[in-house]
A and B are shown apart, each in its own frame.
Chain A
Amino acid sequence: MVKKNVAIALAIIALVLVSVAIYTYISSEHKAPVQEPILTDNQKGQVGVTIQPPEVEDRGDGS
């Protein structure tokens, strides 16, 4: 009777430990890859130009 109880107890312990081992294996195999955050940086420059009105030739005759 004692032997039976010991056998059952050991079987239960073995079952629990095997379950833990399987869980550990599966979780380590399917660990989600760590995604590095995408980093961005913005910088601004400036483009300038001065547009002058066309020079109109003064002919002195009012035209």
Chain B
Amino acid sequence: MAAKRKNSRKDSSNSLYDIIIYVSLILIVFSLFFIGFSMTGKVVDTDSAIVNVTISGTTAINFTTNFLNLGAGTVNVGSAAATIDSDGNVVGGTGWGNTGNLTLENIGNTNVSLDISFGKSAAEYIGGTSPEYHFKFNNKEAGSCTPADGKSLDSWIATTKTNTTICSSFSFEDNKDEINIGIKLVIPSDSIAGTRSDVVTATATTV
């Protein structure tokens, strides 16, 4: 009786080991299959080749016209100020009247957002009582600039020494990758006389 019980226990242990062996083998096979798939991405080997090329994004802009000369002039006697702009308009002054723009081109291969800042405030640039210093931007090539929120093309904006985002997207594509930047000044009669200049900084950031 005891021998029979012993034999029965032995059989049951044997079948347990069998189950462990079979389950282990199944797990090993599936694990190896999964690991191999994860590492190679393929289970079935196919004959294929890959042509791979990486084109790096380049962020680059360029002032193709980097100097805007508004010319020389004087505030008319009796006038509190002269208003001049880069479209050639002159009110309350004599001389000036130059036309032109700063022209900025996206010469990279990625769309960018565009910020503009100025080196001087109106007071530092022109001086006098209540001077004003504005800029505007427009598309030299249609579709170049998507104006940032709150900004629009051809609207005068007061300059700031900190960055002002003007284009949420400045395209790099040929035939739509150039904008013009114009300037307007209100020059008081008591402004600083002489030749004045200021630096405009354009900053492009990949979007």
Which residue numbers of A lie inside 8 Å of B, CB to CB? 3-4, 6-8, 10-11, 13-15, 17-18, 20-21, 24-25, 28, 36, 38-57
Q: Is the CB of A48 within 8 A of B70?
A: yes
Q: Which residues of A contact B200 (CB under 8 A)?
A: 44-47
Q: A43-B62, A47-B197 are in contact. Are A38 and B24 (CB under 8 A)?
A: no
Cβ–Cβ < 8 Å partners of B96 in chain A: 49
Given A21-B35, A43-B202, A45-B63, 6 other A-B residues pairs in contact with their CB atoms under 8 A: A14-B27, A38-B205, A43-B61, A44-B199, A45-B66, A45-B68
Shortest CB-to-CB span from B38 to chain A, Å, is 5
Give the interface of B toward A (CB within 8 A). 13-14, 17-18, 20-21, 23-25, 27-28, 30-32, 34-35, 38-39, 57-63, 65-77, 84, 95-96, 102, 104, 108, 110, 112, 126, 181, 183, 185, 187, 189, 191-206
Q: Are B27 and A45 in contact (CB under 8 A)?
A: no
Q: Are B32 and A45 touching (Cβ within 8 A)?
A: no
B35 x A45 contact (CB < 8 A): no
Give every chain B residue within 8 A of A11 (Cβ-Cβ).
20, 23-24
Give the nearest-CB partner of A20 in chain B: B35
B11 nearest CB across to chain A (Å): 12
Q: Which residue of A lies closest to B86 (CB)?
A: A47
Cβ of A8 to closest chain B Cβ, rounded Å: 8
A32 nearest CB across to chain B (Å): 17
A58 to B: closest C-beta gap in Å: 12
The answer on a CB contact under 8 Å between A50 and B71 is: yes
Asked whether B74 lies within 8 Å of A45 as measured between CB atoms, the reply is: no
CB distance from A36 to the nearest CB of B (A): 7
Contact of B31 among A10, A17, A47 (CB under 8 A): A17
**Central interface residue in A17, A54, A57, by most chain B CB within 10 Å:** A54
A46 touches B67 (CB 8 A): yes
A44 and B67 CA atoms in complex are apart in Å by 9
Residue of A whose beta carbon sits closest to that of B82: A51
Interchain CA distance A13-B28 in the complex, whole Å: 7
What is the minimal beta-carbon distance from A57 to any residue of chain B, in angstroms? 7
How far is it, in angstroms, between the C-alpha of A49 and the C-alpha of B66 when the chains are bound? 14
| Cα-based distance from A13 to B29 in the complex (angstroms) | 11
List of A residues within 8 angstroms of B191 by Cβ: 51
